[in-house]
């Protein structure tokens, strides 16, 4: 039976952080994706809570964590996570990260290698993958456009951009406006800064076990990101999971939890 989740907050130098926590034993830290918060992991945590100590923070600037007026960067999120784990006296953890959370998890493991037992990644951002070079800059242009009045209605979209079905673009607009810190991290910074935090040149030093989870119905973008990490990290394995949609966490929580359970269990035996 699933144990009740505990909600908590802590004041760190970077700002106040909210997190969900449950269970005892070896610690697994779950880092959410670009367009989500720690609630993304609740179905997975519920399935692992009787075996592991599960901790899922809202990243700085997301969800119920504070959104200070600072310059957001991957390094800032990494240091915030380090301060958080230090405050909770968690010396060794497994990290699980989706999308932006995967980028932060891998960056943390590279910087604090001796504190990480293993990393599980799902569609992790943070690398240059073949065929994906311009997508962040396209999103940046979209963000600039959708904040203007001209793209606030379906009629305007049809008229200005000659779109037959503008609903998808309007949905994307709402997503971008709902997660301003994700926008700042992914495509509102200087190219040189983004490049300096990308990991394709550093992953050869990620010498901890890495499991990359991929759904059969993942988007082409997610598959390229998964495959890039799996190819570049020296101790990485790509595991394919059955899925009925591109949202693996939402539609296949049992399979994801089982894969994480198997990975963490192998680390314990090792």
Domain 6-128+198-269 has CATH 3.40.50.1820: yes
Q: pLDDT digits over 97-127, tens only?
A: 999 999 999 999 999 999 999 999 999 999 9
SS3 124: coil
Handedness of CA 126, 132, 136, 137 (dihedral sign): positive
Q: Which of 52-61, 78-87, 160-169 has the lowest mean pLDDT?
A: 160-169
Q: pLDDT digits over 208-251, tens only?
A: 999 999 999 999 999 999 999 999 999 999 999 998 888 999 99
* Alpha carbon distance 10, 84 (integer Å): 8
197 and 78 Cβ atoms separated by less than 8 Å? no
> What is the per-residue pLDDT for 165?
54
Q: Are strands 53-57 and 93-98 parallel, antiparallel or unpaired?
A: unpaired
265 and 28 Cβ atoms separated by less than 8 Å? no
Q: pLDDT digits over 63-103, tens only?
A: 999 999 999 999 999 999 999 999 999 999 999 999 999 99
Question: What are the residue ranges spanned by the domains of the chain?
Answer: 6-128+198-269, 135-180
Confidence of residue 161 (pLDDT cuts 50, 70, 90): very low
Mean pLDDT to the nearest integer, 144-167: 49
> What is the per-residue pLDDT for 177?
80
């Amino acid at each position: 039976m699933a144990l009740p989740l505990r909600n908590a907050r802590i004041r760190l130098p970077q700002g106040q952080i909210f997190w969900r926590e449950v269970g005892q034993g070896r610690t697994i830290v779950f880092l959410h994706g670009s367009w989500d918060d720690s609630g993304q992991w609740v179905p997975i945590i519920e399935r692992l809570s009787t075996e592991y100590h599960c901790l899922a923070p809202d990243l700085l600037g997301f969800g119920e964590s504070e959104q200070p007026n600072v310059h957001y960067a991957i390094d800032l999120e990494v240091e915030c996570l380090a301060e958080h784990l230090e405050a909770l006296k968690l010396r060794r953890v497994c990290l699980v990260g989706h999308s932006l959370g995967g980028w932060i998890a891998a960056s943390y493991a590279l910087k604090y290698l001796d504190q990480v037992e293993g990393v599980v990644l799902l569609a992790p951002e943070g690398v240059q993958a073949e065929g994906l070079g311009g997508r962040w800059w396209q999103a940046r242009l979209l963000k600039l456009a959708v904040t203007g009045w001209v793209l606030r209605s379906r009629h305007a979209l049809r008229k200005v951009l000659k779109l037959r079905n503008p609903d998808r673009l309007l949905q994307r607009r709402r997503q971008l406006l709902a997660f301003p810190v994700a926008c700042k991290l992914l495509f509102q910074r200087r190219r040189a800064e983004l490049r300096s935090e990308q990991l394709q040149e550093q992953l050869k030093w990620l010498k901890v076990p890495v499991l990359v989870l991929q759904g059969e119905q993942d988007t082409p973008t997610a598959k390229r990101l998964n495959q890039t990490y799996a190819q570049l990290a020296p101790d990485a394995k790509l595991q394919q999971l059955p899925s009925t949609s591109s949202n693996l966490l939402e539609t296949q929580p049992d399979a994801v939890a089982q894969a994480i359970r198997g990975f963490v269990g192998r680390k314990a035996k090792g």
